[in-house]
Amino acid sequence: MPAAIYPGSFDPFTNGHLSLIQRGLQMFDRLIVAILVNPKKTPLFSIEERREMIQGAVKDPRIEIDSFQGLLVEYAKKKKVSVVLRGLRAVSDFEYEFQLANMNRKLQPDIETVFMMTGEDYFYVSSNLVREVASLGGNVKGLVPQNVLTKLKAKYSGG
Ligand code: ADP
């Protein structure tokens, strides 16, 4: 399959995201990792910081890192890509992802969402939880790439 868009907040980028990208690249020739710009949320890391994190963690020429605002289906149309890649961790992800995939299909019937299951090592890893644990001084080593770990430490030690 030629290309897919892997959209997300990636705030921060975790080993769960990384695992999905690595496995996605076995299915697709090219992946566009698309950072969602959400003006309603105050992120921990800026778009530029997140872009650098992903760049530092994924060294593969088949990856394009981009950002987008607004409707994913419009972005996909603009990029001329008709497949969206998403991850499923637990049943709790299912309901939201199911709604999202169907809404996107309603908006743009020729865009298909493909799901990959998380690896058993990362099924409990979310950006949310990583942020929370790191902010409380917990060690998230092994759950995020080394460059992200360094960034998190700097953020929470006031550096
Ligand atoms: P999160 O849900 O961790 O806050 P994102 O919104 O950036 O992060 O997630 C982008 C996509 O990556 C979603 O489809 C999400 O289900 C998937 N994803 C995130 N973490 C994992 C993981 N540990 N394993 C598999 N998929 C994941």
Query: The CATH number of the domain where 79 resides is what?
Result: 3.40.50.620
6 phi and psi, to 5 degrees?
-110, 100
What is the domain count for the chain? 1
What is the arithmetic mean of pLDDT over 42-47?
A: 96
Query: How many whole angstroms from 116 Cα to the centroid of ligand 1?
Result: 10
Cα four-point dihedral sign 101, 106, 107, 110: positive
In a domain, 136, yes or no: no
What is the arithmetic mean of pLDDT over 119-148?
A: 94
Is 120 a residue whose pLDDT tops 90? no
In a domain, 20, yes or no: yes
What residues are labeled active site?
A: 17, 41, 89, 127
What is the arithmetic mean of pLDDT over 74-93?
A: 94
In a domain, 148, yes or no: no
In a domain, 25, yes or no: yes
128 lines ligand 1 (CB under 6 A): yes
Task: Look at ligand 1, atom 16, and give the residue with the nearest C-alpha.
Answer: 87
Query: How many whole angstroms from 107 Cα to the centroid of ligand 1?
Result: 23
| Residues above pLDDT 70, as percent of the chain | 99
| Domain range for 28 | 3-124
In a domain, 131, yes or no: no
pLDDT of residue 158: 63
pLDDT of residue 82: 96
pTM for the predicted model, two decimal places: 0.94
